[in-house]
């Protein structure tokens, strides 16, 4: 089999596995640690709260966080044989079907994977998972613009991508590169917009006070330069950090102030993809 036939075979397998999934949404970022997984997890929960069937695929080989965010780190993944082939069952929590590369590798080992090996593992993970019927499958992507991001954006029918950035100028330079990759004419994945995470600090006891500790200009310059829509500005709060650490993402709490930001993000994305 030549390389083109091989690629076609991979694409066919993925198509088959995702045949009952309506929308695939990639959540990317220029660099790590900006809150991409936090946004992916809370977006998935918010879409589920809007009544959709949702899956979340954690393909961030550099630091899979979904097992921690959903407190399922030691969960065993079950296989199911169908017509002589073994498939994997996603783990279901809070009504969301979850699959993570973190279920299969140690955090420190995933880092050393290179190019084709990492890409093959990720495409296999996606095509071997029994996703079933879903309205949304959210991808928690690795940060930056490496082989996995290329593979996912080329081999998967991604409906749209969102980017997460913090307000610092440095992160902005990295996100510019990632946005340019998706915009590339060979990839051509629609960019739905940008989420500014840690946009400002709000103390719980003074919810109307906003402190722009990283400044306001970084994001403004970026959205102007790249002609991106600013979908949502998420504050940096103690509750987001604590709920992440305890494996109960903030959006599960309908009364939390932060939840309305993620719900609004979910509605916007849903509107954009069903126009």
Smallest separation (angstroms) from ligand ADP to the CB of 107: 12
Options 48, 137, 194, 240; binder of ligand ADP; rule CB under 6 A: 240
Burial of 116 (0-12, 13-18, 19+ CB in 10 A): exposed
> Per CB under 6 A, does 34 bind ligand ADP?
yes
What are phi and psi for residue 217, nearest 5 degrees? -80, -30
Options 28, 30, 35, 102; binder of ligand ADP; rule CB under 6 A: 35
CA distance 194 to 210: 20
CA distances from 138 to 33, 114, 258 (A): 18, 24, 20
Smallest separation (angstroms) from ligand ADP to the CB of 198: 5
Smallest separation (angstroms) from ligand ADP to the CB of 275: 28
Smallest separation (angstroms) from ligand ADP to the CB of 51: 25
Options 149, 159, 197, 202; binder of ligand ADP; rule CB under 6 A: 197
> Per CB under 6 A, does 237 bind ligand ADP?
yes
> Per CB under 6 A, does 32 bind ligand ADP?
yes
CA distance 265 to 57: 19
Smallest separation (angstroms) from ligand ADP to the CB of 76: 24
Smallest separation (angstroms) from ligand ADP to the CB of 183: 21
Options 20, 33, 115, 246; binder of ligand ADP; rule CB under 6 A: 33
CA distance 15 to 3: 18
CB under 6 A: which stretch of 147-155, 188-196, 231-239, 261-269 binds ligand ADP? 231-239
DSSP category for residue 190: P
CB under 6 A: which stretch of 17-25, 112-120, 184-192, 239-247 binds ligand ADP? 239-247
Comparing CB distances to ligand ADP, the nearer of 147 and 174 is: 174
The structure tokens 């960019």 sit at 191
**Helix H or strand E segment including 16:** helix 3-17
Comparing CB distances to ligand ADP, the nearer of 33 and 190 is: 33
CA distance 110 to 1: 28
Q: Contacts by 215-218 with C-beta closer than 8 Å and gap 24+?
A: 215/167, 215/168, 216/167, 218/167, 218/168, 218/169, 218/171, 218/172
Comparing CB distances to ligand ADP, the nearer of 33 and 116 is: 33
Torsion of CA 36, 39, 44, 47, to 10 degrees: -140
Comparing CB distances to ligand ADP, the nearer of 32 and 160 is: 32
Smallest separation (angstroms) from ligand ADP to the CB of 153: 18
Helices assigned H by DSSP within 156-237: 169-183, 217-226
Comparing CB distances to ligand ADP, the nearer of 14 and 198 is: 198
List of residues contacting ligand ADP (CB under 6 A): 29, 32-38, 63, 65, 197-198, 234, 236-237, 240-241, 244
């Amino acid at each position: 089999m030549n390389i083109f036939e091989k690629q076609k075979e991979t694409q066919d397998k993925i198509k088959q596995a995702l045949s009952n999934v309506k929308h695939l949404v990639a959540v990317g970022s220029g660099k790590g640690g900006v809150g991409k997984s936090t946004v992916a997890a809370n977006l998935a929960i918010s879409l589920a709260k809007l009544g959709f069937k949702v899956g979340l695929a954690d393909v961030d080989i550099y630091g899979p966080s979904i097992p921690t965010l959903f407190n399922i780190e030691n969960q065993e993944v079950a296989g199911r044989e169908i017509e002589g082939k073994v498939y994997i069952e996603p783990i279901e929590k809070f009504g969301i079907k979850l699959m993570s590369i973190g279920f299969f590798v140690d955090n420190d080992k995933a880092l050393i994977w290179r190019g084709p090996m990492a890409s093959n593992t990720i495409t296999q993970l996606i095509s071997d998972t029994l996703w079933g019927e879903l309205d949304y499958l959210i991808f928690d992507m690795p940060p930056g613009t490496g082989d996995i991001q290329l593979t996912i954006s080329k081999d998967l029918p991604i409906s749209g991508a969102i980017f997460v950035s913090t307000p610092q100028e440095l992160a902005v330079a990295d996100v510019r590169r990632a946005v340019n990759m998706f915009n590339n004419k060979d990839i051509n994945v629609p960019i739905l917009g940008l989420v500014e995470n840690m946009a400002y600090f709000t103390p719980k006891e003074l919810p109307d006070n906003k402190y722009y500790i990283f400044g306001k200009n970084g994001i403004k310059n970026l959205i102007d330069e790249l002609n991106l829509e600013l979908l949502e500005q998420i504050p940096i709060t103690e509750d987001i950090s604590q709920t992440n650490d305890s494996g109960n993402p903030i959006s599960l709490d309908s009364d939390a102030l932060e939840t309305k930001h993620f719900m609004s993000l979910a509605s916007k994305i849903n509107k954009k993809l069903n126009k």
